[in-house]
Structure 1
Amino acid sequence: MIVRTLQEAEQTNRKVVDPNNNWDSTRLLLKDDNMGFSFHITTIYAGADFQMHYQNHLESVFCMSGEGEVETLADGKVYPIKAGTIYILDKNDKHILRATKEMKMACVFNPPVIGNEVHNKDGAYELQADVITD
């Protein structure tokens, strides 16, 4: 059994801060936990407006608090996000995420991340074989 607290994980290298100051993400479950997915609590800062394209991962995102929107670039559709909303990037969707109020998100990635990923120039996480430790 694996038991962790968000507060403890935030004090380790499991907390990753976006170098562009759009978000921070505490990775509670990683590749080396051998569950086949990773689980993150991510804060999207108010005013954030950035493009992502997870070419190597599928992601589900549940908004626990805050407000914003997600825009799919393939069709230009804009979906409002508020507490209780889930969006699923099941087609490696290129998208823009905007936060009007700071958003706290629960995120699941498949395949799992190792823990230190930040977005590359295309807005994706690279696939990595290495394992990060506490």
Structure 2
Amino acid sequence: MIVRHVGEVIGTDQEIVTPNWTSRRVLLADDKMGFSFHETVIAPGTETHIHYQNHLEAVWCIEGDGEIETIADGRKYTLGPGVVYALDQHDEHWLRGGTAPLRVICVFNPPLTGREVHDAAGVYPLETAS
């Protein structure tokens, strides 16, 4: 059994901090669960281009507000507590922070190793566990 507290990740190499978001990666590929599990906080007023070509992601919004816009069709979805969205088609999108920090819980398949950050195209590279 694996039991962790998100606080154990803060300040370690499993917490990735950028100007737009902070990702606390609680379960990773090395945990051999078949997915990775993260708490991410999106900064208010930010905009991040994302296109997970190598991963599927499901996101559950816990608190705060924001918006997601799919690039293919320009559809916009309001994000807030209780909203779940799944990028089941590797959907290229803009993720925008609203007026309050947007805290979300994310699941990735295949699992992240913990080292990934978005490249210029908004993609996480496909890395393998150590």
Give the TM-score normalised by structure 1: 0.93
Check if 1:87 corresponds to 2:85.
yes
Distance 2:97 2:43 in 1: 7
**Map of 1:111-126 to 2, 5 A cutoff?**
111-126=110-125
**Map of 1:1-134 to 2, 5 A cutoff?**
1-18=1-18, 21-100=19-98, 101-131=100-130
- Amino acid aligned to 2:23: S
Q: Offset of 1:127 from its aligned partner?
A: 0.5
Distance 1:130 1:4 in 2: 19
Distance 2:128 2:32 in 1: 13
- Report the aligned-residue RMSD: 0.8
Distance 1:130 1:63 in 2: 27
Distance 1:71 1:11 in 2: 31
Distance 1:110 1:130 in 2: 13
Q: Offset of 1:11 from its aligned partner?
A: 3.0
Match of 2:8, SS state, is helix
- Amino acid aligned to 1:120: D
Please say which of residues 8-17 and 95-104 is displaced more in the overlay.
8-17
Give the TM-score normalised by structure 2: 0.96
- Amino acid aligned to 1:43: V
Give the fraction of aligned pairs with identical amino acids, expressed as a percent: 49
More strand by share: 1
- Amino acid aligned to 1:115: G
Distance 1:11 1:123 in 2: 24
Runs of 4+ that moved beyond 6 A? none
Aligned residue pairs, count:
129
Distance 1:40 1:58 in 2: 14
Distance 1:66 1:129 in 2: 33
Segments of 5+ residues of structure 1 without an aligned counterpart are: none
Match of 1:32, SS state, is helix
